[in-house]
Chains A and B, each alone.
Chain A
Amino acid sequence: MIPYRELESFFTRLVSTAQDRGIVCAITSGMACVHFGVAATTKDCDVLCEVGKADAFRELIAETSLRDLLPNYRGNISPPLDARWMRGGWTSHFTWKTKPEDACLDVFGIAPRGSSPWERQLTGIYARPNVVAEMKRTNREKDWPFATALGGEMLAEHDMNGWLHLYDVDVLKKSAASAVPPEHLAALRPVLRLAPFADTRTVKRLLLAERQFWSELDELRVHIYQKHLRPYLSAVRRASGGRRDQSVAEGHAIRVECALAHLPFQPLRDFGLTRMVDEAKANVGMTMGNDVIEWLPAAEHHFHGL
């Protein structure tokens, strides 16, 4: 078993090397959370990479060995690491077949739910907490405390955008005891207008509505991508002839060919970003009451890069 420290060191070196080569990239998700003081038990690494440098980063990955093993694309489902698909929010997966379990790297060009360029929000080899926290608004229950914890960290560092990531009524109350959410943030997140959040029951209900909204949006987003991935997966499996040991270059050529046939460049735009937001809002209205809709966040700002 490769110790976690060695894995962490491997991935941080990979990103440092990429940055030295002029590739804007950054570690996000679990490893970034650990760095920022919100421990996560993950051994995989997620990296944001500037879309325009997809080829360069892929080449770097391809030549980087871990315990003398070169990487492969992971499984048949991985889209190619190619700017054309990265721009549309697709994620590429790589693996080093170490024993007893693989070391895995996920690479994407668009930060999900990003409201501003992630490329301008780096601190060393990590994406800043604001980027990481936006990515935590998923349809997985376990992700939400990380968003709140990161938001709290941001406020402690006097980054007022932290207000956008607090999803706990007690944390909101305590934060409001010493500061007022700025008006421009309340425009993005109406719930902040309830500061100092004294009406606990109302705040709790609206926080639930917000979380459900982001969850619905994420489910819809994933569903849109997965619809296209099924035929793509079959095509890659056929074209690979059952082989799982292709080099990154070999695997890439197969994946590009299959992706050209099965993966649209911009599936979310094709579906309609406004349509996605409207559907998610409608779903929340149905389950929680239409009165909460006006309190939902301005999500149309959270498709930056697409």
Chain B
Amino acid sequence: MRDFHVRAFGEEMARINFLPEKRRKAAVAEMIDYARSKGVKLGRPALGVTP
């Protein structure tokens, strides 16, 4: 599955996906906060229905 993760998500995300849970969540938190600090909007519109 690691090959698939690299193809589907890229090297860095694949690396994060195979970290132990605690370190994975820390890496995801860091990534999300960095993106937000640079102005990336990670929210989703309210649609009234879940896609």
A229 contact set on B, CB distance < 8 A: 47-49
CA distance A170 to B4 in the complex (A): 8
CA distance A5 to B28 in the complex (A): 9
Asked if B28 and A1 make an inter-chain contact with CB atoms under 8 angstroms apart, the answer reads no
Asked if A37 and B24 make an inter-chain contact with CB atoms under 8 angstroms apart, the answer reads yes
Asked if B13 and A75 make an inter-chain contact with CB atoms under 8 angstroms apart, the answer reads no
Asked if A171 and B4 make an inter-chain contact with CB atoms under 8 angstroms apart, the answer reads yes
Chain B 37-51 interface 0/1 with A at a Cβ cutoff of 8 Å (1 = within): 100011110111111
Q: Beyond A1-B37, A4-B32, A101-B36, is A37–B47 a contact (Cβ under 8 Å)?
A: no
* Distance between A280 CB and nearest chain B CB, rounded to angstroms: 15
B50 contact set on A, CB distance < 8 A: 46, 91, 106, 108, 112, 135
Chain B 4-37 interface 0/1 with A at a Cβ cutoff of 8 Å (1 = within): 1100110001001110010011111101110111
Asked if B4 and A8 make an inter-chain contact with CB atoms under 8 angstroms apart, the answer reads no
B16 contact set on A, CB distance < 8 A: 39
Asked if A152 and B4 make an inter-chain contact with CB atoms under 8 angstroms apart, the answer reads yes
Q: Which of A37, A41, A156 contacts B31 (CB 8 A)?
A: A41
Q: Beyond A37-B24, A89-B49, A106-B50, is A148–B43 a contact (Cβ under 8 Å)?
A: no
B18 contact set on A, CB distance < 8 A: 37
Q: Which of A51-59, A220-228, A242-250 contacts B (4 or more CB under 8 A)?
A: A220-228
A171 contact set on B, CB distance < 8 A: 1, 4
What are 13 inter-chain pairs, A to B, with CB distance below 8 A? A1-B33, A35-B25, A40-B28, A41-B31, A41-B35, A90-B49, A91-B48, A101-B41, A102-B43, A139-B51, A149-B5, A170-B4, A233-B48
Asked if B4 and A168 make an inter-chain contact with CB atoms under 8 angstroms apart, the answer reads yes
* Distance between A189 CB and nearest chain B CB, rounded to angstroms: 19
- A128 CB within 8 Å of chain B: no
Asked if B29 and A3 make an inter-chain contact with CB atoms under 8 angstroms apart, the answer reads yes
- A44 CB within 8 Å of chain B: yes
- A15 CB within 8 Å of chain B: no
Chain B, interface residues (CB within 8 Å), range: 20 to 34
Point out residues on B near A: beta carbons under 8 Å: 1, 3-5, 8-9, 13, 16-18, 21, 24-29, 31-33, 35-37, 41-44, 46-51
Asked if B49 and A149 make an inter-chain contact with CB atoms under 8 angstroms apart, the answer reads no
B9 contact set on A, CB distance < 8 A: 38-39, 145, 149
Chain A 66-85 interface 0/1 with B at a Cβ cutoff of 8 Å (1 = within): 00000000110111000000
Q: Beyond A149-B1, A229-B49, is A44–B33 a contact (Cβ under 8 Å)?
A: no
Asked if A3 and B4 make an inter-chain contact with CB atoms under 8 angstroms apart, the answer reads no
Q: Beyond A4-B29, A170-B4, is A44–B49 a contact (Cβ under 8 Å)?
A: no
Asked if B32 and A75 make an inter-chain contact with CB atoms under 8 angstroms apart, the answer reads no
Q: Which of B1, B41, B46 contacts A156 (CB 8 A)?
A: B1
Asked if B48 and A226 make an inter-chain contact with CB atoms under 8 angstroms apart, the answer reads yes
Known: A39-B31, A41-B31. 7 other contacts (CB 8 A): A34-B24, A37-B17, A43-B32, A44-B42, A46-B50, A106-B50, A233-B48
CA distance A77 to B43 in the complex (A): 16
**Nearest 4 pairs of A and B residues by beta carbon:** A145-B8, A225-B49, A93-B46, A152-B1
Asked if A149 and B17 make an inter-chain contact with CB atoms under 8 angstroms apart, the answer reads yes
CA distance A139 to B50 in the complex (A): 11
Asked if B5 and A44 make an inter-chain contact with CB atoms under 8 angstroms apart, the answer reads no
